[in-house]
Amino acid sequence: MLKTENLSVGYDNYVVVEGINLEIKNREILCIIGPNGAGKSTLLKTIATYLKPKRGIVYLNGRNIHRLSPREIAREMSVVLTERVNPGNLTGYDIVAIGRHPYTDIFGRLSKRDKEIIEYAAASVNATHLLSKNFFEMSDGERQKIMIARALAQEPRVLILDEPTSFLDAKHKIELTILLRKLATENNLAIVVTLHDIELALRVADKIALIKNGRIIAYGHPEDVMKREVVNNLYDLESANYSEVLGYFELKSCGKRDCKVFLICGGGTGVNVMRFLVKNEYSVTVGVLHKNDIDYTVAETMELKIVEEEPYNPISQKSYERALEEIRSSDVVIYTDFPIGEMNKLNKELVEESIKLGKYVVKYDGNVEKLKERLNEYHNYSN
């Protein structure tokens, strides 16, 4: 459907990205990700024929796209760029109707079929109620729907979108993600989209291309491509780590605060506690955690010290003793309402032993504000 072959893109005599070899087929979504200034928009504008390639070829259905007429391209491909549009007093209907321009006569008259397609395009993005509304009165999310409806009214086989979530709140970002997946499948579209949000890209993409330093550093299925070392390198991360399991980032522990905390948790009950403690620069040790526990995944991503146990094995006496040693040298012990079974029943004993040792023990009941108050009480007491 759409293919680039040894493509290099840029402006004037300056090449921004080179050696680009990508391919996208019907019912697939290709997400292009990279830091600001990496060349994502330049690549899209070249694919959309707004820019000429420096080298290489873009093929649309086996034909060199830069040799096609604008009318031929408009019947095969539609483009939604990130720039804000100011169309004056046009209604949503007027904007969507512009998408029929490649099919109308020289007077721009809309046929019955054109009008049916306009209605269908609006319905496809749940924007029928916006057709009578003035464009300048719409929210950013509503405007984005209308612009995508305009693109769909062209009856394209390829849809190009540049940062479509840029001005959207969380709700509309999620809605747009679901919409793109639906359009690819139901409208048999090949979609190429640039995104900043890695989490959304993972949810929607069939293929993903990562751009950095003028080249594609990784390309393929997101499940194969999005590895920690690759994503950390993409954004030059130093204070955070990407997690393949979580599909997002966690801050690294720095432990600057002069207070050592031992956290007893499991089954996901410690995630919020760890995030709070790391943000507030506590030195944190977590345990005993099985390596297949989600709390282990978060702690490992944060680079916390972990007293660990192999999956599906009861906590060993050796791991218990290691945890107890850490507790003895800790200032505060926090425990969550973790589920208790045969595999982790020694963690309950760790809580009891912490109390016997006279440690400052805090139970986290799901309320971070209360946890903060208890920690402040400890600091006031210890000072």
> Do 354 and 333 form a contact (C-beta atoms < 8 A)?
yes
pLDDT tier at 92, thresholds 50, 70, 90: very high
pLDDT of 6 higher than 80: yes
Question: What domains appear along the chain, each with residue ranges and CATH number?
Answer: 2-238 (3.40.50.300), 249-382 (3.40.50.720)
pLDDT tier at 141, thresholds 50, 70, 90: confident
- Region 66-92: mean pLDDT is 83
Q: Which residues contact 22 (CB under 8 A, 6 or more apart)?
A: 2, 3, 4, 7, 30, 207, 209, 216, 219
pLDDT in tens, 264-273: 999 999 999 9
> Do 226 and 244 form a contact (C-beta atoms < 8 A)?
yes
> Do 56 and 20 form a contact (C-beta atoms < 8 A)?
yes
What percent of the chain is modeled with pLDDT above 90? 61
> Do 7 and 48 form a contact (C-beta atoms < 8 A)?
no
| Range in 11-15, 150-154, 195-199, 338-342 the model is least confident about | 195-199
pLDDT of 17 higher than 90: yes
Query: What residues pair up with 32 in beta bridges, in sequence order?
Result: 194, 209
Structure-model confidence comparison of residues 380 and 68, the more confident one: 68
| Range in 98-102, 290-294, 319-323 the model is least confident about | 98-102
| Range in 175-184, 244-253, 274-283 the model is least confident about | 175-184
> Do 27 and 184 form a contact (C-beta atoms < 8 A)?
yes
For residues 197 and 211, give the distance between their C-alpha atoms in angstroms, rounded to a whole number.
Answer: 14
pLDDT tier at 97, thresholds 50, 70, 90: very high
84: exposed, middle or buried (Cβ count in 10 Å: 0-12, 13-18, 19+): exposed
Integer-rounded Cα Rg, in Å, for the chain is 27
The Cβ-side half-sphere exposure at 338, using a 13 Å CA radius, reads 33
pLDDT in tens, 143-173: 888 888 999 999 899 999 988 877 777 887 8
pLDDT of 48 higher than 70: yes
pLDDT of residue 367: 92
pLDDT tier at 86, thresholds 50, 70, 90: low
pLDDT tier at 104, thresholds 50, 70, 90: confident
For residues 215 and 8, give the distance between their C-alpha atoms in angstroms, rounded to a whole number.
Answer: 9
pLDDT of residue 83: 65
Structure-model confidence comparison of residues 290 and 62, the more confident one: 290
What percent of the chain is modeled with pLDDT above 70? 97
> Do 262 and 357 form a contact (C-beta atoms < 8 A)?
no
What single string gives the DSSP state of each residue in 97-157?
HHTTGGGS-TT----HHHHHHHHHHHHHTT-GGGTTSBGGGS-HHHHHHHHHHHHHHT--S
pLDDT of residue 225: 92
pLDDT of 70 higher than 80: yes
- Region 205-232: mean pLDDT is 93
Show the DSSP H helices in 235-360 as ranges: 271-279, 294-301, 317-328, 345-356
Average model confidence (pLDDT) across the chain: 90
Quick one: which of 34, 39, 30 has its CA closest to 11? 39
> Do 217 and 19 form a contact (C-beta atoms < 8 A)?
no
Residue 78 neighbours by CB distance under 10 Å: 25
For residues 274 and 222, give the distance between their C-alpha atoms in angstroms, rounded to a whole number.
Answer: 27
Unique residue bearing structure tokens 């016997």: 356
